Chain A
Amino acid sequence: MLDILHLKKYYATQKAVDDISLHIKQGSIFGLLGPNGAGKSSLLRMVTGITMPDAGSITLNGEHFSLQQHSKQIGYMPEERGLYKRMKVGEQTMYLAQLKGLSKNEALQKMNEWFDKLDMQSWKNKKVEDLSKGMSQKLQFVITVLHEPSLLILDEPFSGLDPVNSSVIKEEIYNLAQKGTTIIFSTHRMEQVEEICEEIALMNKGQLILQGSVHDVKQQFKQNKYALQVSKPIEGFEQVIKSQSGNRYELQFTDEQDADKLLMHCLQQKNRIISYHEILPSLNDIFIHLVEGGAARKFENYQA
């Protein structure tokens, strides 16, 4: 669906995007992660046609990407929301839809469909400045998807949304993906990425440092950590016990056989195993691990 090859964008002082190649499948939900200043916005701006790359190519469904041709196929919701504050909700929606190339009738019909679906009909004559932050977020989402783009680019789509609206939007994102819309979204909030995205890419300092499915990435970075809960304290095995609280243990094995030995030992001691499972690293941990190698800023993990 979307192929990015050796994309580069250099500014006077920094390499914002330094030789990035990505392949994104149609209908997939792709998470683009990275700390502030990693070059995510620069990359997304090139994919939306807002800026031109210095080198490299962007191909959309096999065609060379150009804003002129493909603007209607792309829906972009920038990180910092942009709407005319003093314009009425209805007028603004119509205007932006028509700018995307919809006819007046199409725009009106699509607007009514979405406004009915998301219960926004009563907002039509309100000015944007009179909407709450969550409401204008919702409006921005509708405006982004109204013209049925085949590639949807969402920058932090859930910030400012309450849990109810958040799940409404999430639902719509799933629906769109199921209908074949390809979705790229960039976010700081790792728990959402783990929940929603099939594939992810991590960016830092303009470069791609990791790419793959969430499952593969976690497997790749697992550190053989396990959690064990038993009925009475374990004796010995100090070298594998990383931490302990009561009869709950966090274990780290360097050799898989150590795990078998420990479990055997517990069973022999009639120490009942209440639970035993692998601790997979969170994306957050992986990211910090990868980025802290360099002098990158600490990754910001927002707790919603």
Chain B
Amino acid sequence: MLKTWLIIQREYLTRVRKKSFLVTTFLIPIAMVAISSIMIFMAVKSEQKQRIAVIDETGVFTNKLDTTSSSYEIKYIAKSNDEKHTVLEKNESDILLHIYPIHNGVPDSIHIYKDGGVSLNAKQFLNSEVNNVFQMKQMQDAGINKEKIDSITELSLDVKSFDLQSNKETNTEISTVIGYAMGFLIYLVILIYGMGVMRGVSEEKTNRIAEVIISSVKPFQLMMGKIVGIALVGLTQFILWLVLTGVLHSFLPFLIPGLGLSSSVGMSTAEMQQAQSASASQLAPMLQMLYSQNWILLIGCFLFYFLGGYFIYAAMFAAVGSLVNEDPQEAQQMTLPVTMPIIIAFFIMMTATRDPNSTLAVFGSMFPLTSPIVMMARIPYGIPGWQIALSMLFLVLGFIGMTWLGAKIYRTGILMYGKKVTWKEVYKWIRYS
């Protein structure tokens, strides 16, 4: 239909040309990159070495604590009467570790002193180091030689999970993260763009432009034009976000030149290589897992549920927009029945990321009002194809049903001025129109 196409065009162009669209489209990726680079920067910054002074009254720990860490510099000092004040106040060290003499086989007590609070990292570092060293000593005392101990401590068993059908390795953590992220994204999309539809409709109603337009086109065309137009805006914005975030992230090292350098200050080349290979060895299996996900299925499903989720709610948001008069408080009350299932879906999604095959999760991923959000949390775990197909079928049917219902409310509501509409009246419109 030519006229519907005109409406779609207008809805799309007026939104895309708005300053607020440009601002959110360009600022959000920039903000995201800025936040993540600030976080990286802070992490790098905090790697500035903390100087730790150690008073070891046992003699067990002297020269044994790990000094390879790039974050800490350890110096052993002798006990004196007011060592705390000398060391810390003269700013010779940042942290003072005091290990008191051995009593009944273990150090009497171990204290950390610092001007102000000790960071969690530093405390965990010292805690594990002190324990490692002491356990090592105990084992050596028990007659186990050092090589043996090293080989034991390096031993680490890894439990892996596999998918029965494909016999491929699965990664629960990654599935959870992907499922959660996609479900959350769809939740946001439905709320943000659904509200956009609602605001657009109620603006047309309060402006009385709806009456002018409805003398040219059918109410259904006006409603669908708006819904499709805003869907296209959402897709555009989403794609731009992906592209911009990707581009900005790849430029990150150039944008913040100090990032690469500051971390290598005071670090020998050998240390750097070591650090890199350590992180690389952690990352490799994660990346492999990421790549092993069926991304074509994931992205395909994501786009389907992204649009399906938006469309099934959009007509309802349009209906609510058509009921609202100028009072924003009224709008909030009227939206509640529509936003409620979205919020419930979000909670089901959260439980589904933990137990994707629970009855609630399966039901939630089939019921069209919740499936767009819940199903995305289940798909990364690998679920039977028929479940996805059924859920999609229900979603399409649900979309048709909700749009039919929404359109009925919309075409009466858009022309009702002044009086506050109750849900009871709305029910009558549906029944008798």
Q: Tell yes or no: B213 within 8 A of A by CB.
A: yes
From A77, A86, A99, A101, contact of B213 by CB (8 A): A99
> Which one of B203-211, B234-242, B351-359 is at the A interface?
B203-211
List CB contacts (< 8 Å) of B390-433 with chain A: 415, 417, 425, 428
The reply to whether B211 and A86 contact each other, CB–CB distance below 8 Å, is no
Q: Are A49 and B215 in contact (CB under 8 A)?
A: yes
One of A45, A51, A96 near B216 (C-beta < 8 A): A96
Contacts of B425 in A (CB 8 A): 12
Determine whether the beta carbon of B14 is less than 8 Å from that of A78. Answer: no
Q: How far is the CA of A99 from the CA of B215 in the complex (A)?
A: 10
Is the beta-carbon distance between A76 and B212 smaller than 8 angstroms?
yes
Q: Which chain B residues lie closer than 8 Å to A87 at the CB level?
A: 14
- Determine which residue in B7, B209, B212 has the highest number of CB atoms from chain A within 10 A of its CB, and name it: B212
A236 at interface (Cβ–Cβ under 8 A)?
A: no
- Hey, what's the 0/1 contact readout for A26-51 against B, CB within 8 Å counting as 1? 00000000000000000001001111
When distances are taken between beta carbons in the complex, the residues of chain B under 8 Å from A74 are 215
Inter-subunit contact A82/B209 (CB<8 Å):
yes
A-chain residues with CB within 8 Å of residue B6 when the two chains form the complex: 95, 98-99
Residue on B nearest A97 in the bound complex, by CB: B216
CB distance from A155 to the nearest CB of B (A): 10
Q: Are B215 and A84 in contact (CB under 8 A)?
A: no
Q: B10 at interface (Cβ–Cβ under 8 A)?
A: yes
Contact A100 B216 (CB under 8 A): yes
Q: Which residue of A lies closest to B207 (CB)?
A: A82
A290 contacts across to B, CB distance below 8 A:
none
Give complex CA distance A71, B415 in Å: 18
Q: When the two chains form their complex, are residues A95 and B216 in contact, meaning their CB atoms are under 8 A apart?
A: no
Chain A residue nearest to B208 in the complex (CB): A82
Are B212's CB and A67's CB within 8 A?
A: no
B40 at the interface (CB under 8 A from A): no
Interface residue B214 (Cβ < 8 Å from any Cβ of A): yes
The answer to whether B415 and A45 have CB atoms under 8 Å apart is: yes
Asked if A12 and B428 make an inter-chain contact with CB atoms under 8 angstroms apart, the answer reads yes
Q: Decide if A78 touches B208 in the complex (CB within 8 Å).
A: yes
How far does the alpha carbon of A84 sit from the alpha carbon of B222 in the complex, in Å?
14
Are B216 and A84 neighbours in the complex by a CB distance under 8 Å? no
Question: Do the beta carbons of B208 and A81 come within 8 Å of each other?
Answer: yes
Q: Which residues of A contact B216 (CB under 8 A)?
A: 71, 96, 99-101
- The CA-CA distance from A12 to B419 in the complex, in Å, is 14
* A96/B212 in contact, CB under 8 A: yes
Which residues of A, 126-175, contact B by the 8 Å Cβ criterion?
143
Q: Is B49 interfacial (CB-CB < 8 Å)? A: no
**Contact (Cβ within 8 A) A84 B209:** yes
**Nearest A-chain residue to B3, judged by Cβ:** A99
Tell me the bound Cα distance from A85 to B207 in angstroms: 8
Residues of A within 8 A of B428 (CB): 12
Name 5 interchain pairs, CB-CB below 8 A, sorted by A.
A68-B218, A71-B216, A76-B212, A82-B204, A82-B210
Query: Which residues of A pack against B, CB within 8 Å?
Result: 12, 45, 48-51, 67-68, 71, 74, 76-78, 80-87, 95-96, 98-101, 143
The 9 nearest A-B residue pairs measured at CB: A82-B208, A82-B209, A76-B215, A99-B216, A80-B208, A48-B215, A78-B211, A82-B212, A50-B214
Binding site for A on B (CB under 8 A): 3, 6-7, 10, 14, 204, 207-218, 415, 417, 425, 428
**16 extra interface residue pairs, beta carbon distance < 8 Å, beyond A12-B428, A82-B210, A99-B7:** A12-B425, A45-B211, A74-B215, A76-B211, A77-B212, A78-B211, A80-B417, A82-B211, A82-B212, A83-B207, A84-B204, A85-B207, A87-B14, A96-B216, A99-B6, A99-B217
